[in-house]
């Protein structure tokens, strides 16, 4: 499985909509939606930093590693 994105969980905990986060961090809704659904292969540290700053969380709250099952 690899890396799982937990953005939806953190947003729900903070009672924040994706559109609000988009405005605050200056990232398009499309890019945040792709991140939220795990359709991205990379994320810039500056974007991750901005998301963590606005959501008052750590990168580990947003990203989770799971081993692939063989």
Asked whether residue 12 is assigned to any structural domain, the reply reads: yes
Q: Determine the structural domain holding residue 51 and report its residue range.
A: 2-65
Q: What does the pLDDT read at residue 70?
A: 62
Q: What does the pLDDT read at residue 60?
A: 96
pLDDT tens for the chain, 70 residues long, are 689 999 999 999 999 999 999 999 999 999 999 999 989 999 999 999 999 999 999 999 999 999 876 6
Asked whether residue 70 is assigned to any structural domain, the reply reads: no
Q: What does the pLDDT read at residue 68?
A: 77
* Ordered DSSP codes for 10-63: HHHHTT--HHHHHHHHT--HHHHHHHHTT--S---HHHHHHHHHHHT--HHHHE
Domain of 9, CATH number, reads 1.10.260.40
């Amino acid at each position: 499985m690899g890396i799982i994105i937990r953005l939806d969980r953190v947003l729900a905990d903070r009672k924040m909509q994706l559109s609000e986060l988009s405005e605050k961090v200056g990232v398009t809704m499309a890019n945040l939606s792709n991140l939220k659904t795990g359709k991205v292969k990379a994320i810039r540290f500056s974007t991750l930093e901005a998301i963590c700053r606005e959501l008052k969380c750590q990168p580990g709250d947003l990203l989770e590693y799971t081993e692939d099952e063989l």
